[in-house]
Amino acid sequence: MSEEWKQRRAVELHKYLVDGSYYFGDEKRMIYKDEQRLHPVVSAKMTTMNESLEITGEGEKQFHGSILWFSSNGDCKIFSADEVLTVSCSRDTYDRKVANTAHFSQYFRTPPIIARNAKQRTIVEPYIEPTLHTQPHKKDTIDTILTDYANYFTSIKGDARFTRQTMNELLNRSGNRIHQRLFEQTAALIDQSLFDTNFPYIPLHGDLWTDNLLITEDRAGEKEVWYIDYDTSGQYVFFYDFFKFMWNEFDVNNDNSSVMAYLHGEYDEYFVRVFRVFDLNYDPTLRASYFCYFFLNYMLDETSMLPFEVKRGEMIDFERKLLPRLVAE
């Protein structure tokens, strides 16, 4: 999405935004009013103040947002003091968000939908104010994630959306196989036995990392992990979200701690446990293969709304940044 498109889209959404001057955040992922520069959504992504954009328009305001976030799937998220309004780019993405909330809120702590309008393709959720930063509590956060997902796996086995397939079947069926030369180096590092393994494919978040987790404390001082932004959810191999978390932290946050902990076997006990949920055996000698399997699943997947061009850029980064470490291990 070009900067010109974002400017035009912001003006179109004026009825949901407080009038005034807005500034683009870094990488043009959002616009915000100056008084919101310390807001958690803004401050995490803003290092310099960029060019401004005037938002104004006639008619009664339908929402009083002061931050507009441009999602990678074309949706727009608008933040007010206590609510988040999602304006879906299509009826399909609107329906997917409603369905995702209904599904995942059964198993994970997820902000509920408090209002929705199918005609306008809008969804309102409460804004969850993070009371703790994720990074200082990362180990506890990862422990919570692992527990939540183990419980989810146990529960999902009887769900109608639970399927099994092999990587060879996915390769034969995916329209993205036409780009096979782009990811052949990664595919070559996957142990051949995994291509014929009948792995479970289940609904998953699709973009798990610290930016899509909110840490709060309840009245008793207990930490709570909230899962947000299911924009790229889809039907993935069951261990997909773990590796997406490691990769995102490595690639975006320049934090290799999760990747190295995995490669050094610190998560082996957990992987043995969750593989057994599906009557599978985890092989610690194939750690690099599992990681590459995840990325091949990412490239071939067509169940999410993520454009392939976004994946292309990540594939290049993966083979440049992380693949040499996986080979070395």
Host H or E run for residue 31: strand 30-33
Terminal-residue alpha carbon distance, the chain: 38
pLDDT at 100: 95
Sign (positive/negative) of CA torsion 229, 77, 72, 210? negative
Mean pLDDT within 286-299: 98
pLDDT at 47: 53
Sign (positive/negative) of CA torsion 318, 321, 322, 327? positive
Where residue 235 falls (left for φ over 0; alpha for ψ -120 to 50; beta otherwise) is beta
**Strand duo 234-237 + 52-55: pairing:** unpaired
Higher pLDDT, 269 or 141: 269
Where residue 293 falls (left for φ over 0; alpha for ψ -120 to 50; beta otherwise) is alpha
pLDDT at 48: 58
In the block, tokens 């209002």 appear at 115
Phi and psi at 243, nearest 5°, equal -75, -30
Token duo for residue 144: 């919570």
pLDDT in tens, 152-176: 999 998 887 899 999 999 999 999 9
pLDDT at 312: 93
How far apart CA 7 and CA 22 sit, in angstroms, is: 10
Start-end of CATH 3.90.1200 domains in the chain: 135-328
How far apart CA 157 and CA 161 sit, in angstroms, is: 9
Model confidence at 228, pLDDT cuts 50, 70, 90, reads very high
Token duo for residue 6: 């974002």
pLDDT in tens, 8-60: 999 999 999 999 999 988 778 899 998 998 888 887 655 556 678 999 888 89
Higher pLDDT, 51 or 7: 7
| Mean of per-residue pLDDT scores for the chain | 92
Question: 108, 227 in Cβ contact below 8 A?
Answer: yes
Nearest to 191 by CA among 288, 111, 265, 73: 288
Higher pLDDT, 40 or 182: 182
How far apart CA 273 and CA 161 sit, in angstroms, is: 22
Which class does domain 135-328 fall in? alpha beta
Higher pLDDT, 241 or 217: 241
pLDDT in tens, 92-147: 999 999 999 999 999 999 999 999 999 999 999 999 988 766 665 678 889 999 99
Lowest mean pLDDT segment, chosen from 41-50, 196-205, 215-224, 295-304:
41-50
How far apart CA 134 and CA 261 sit, in angstroms, is: 18
Question: 306, 72 in Cβ contact below 8 A?
Answer: yes
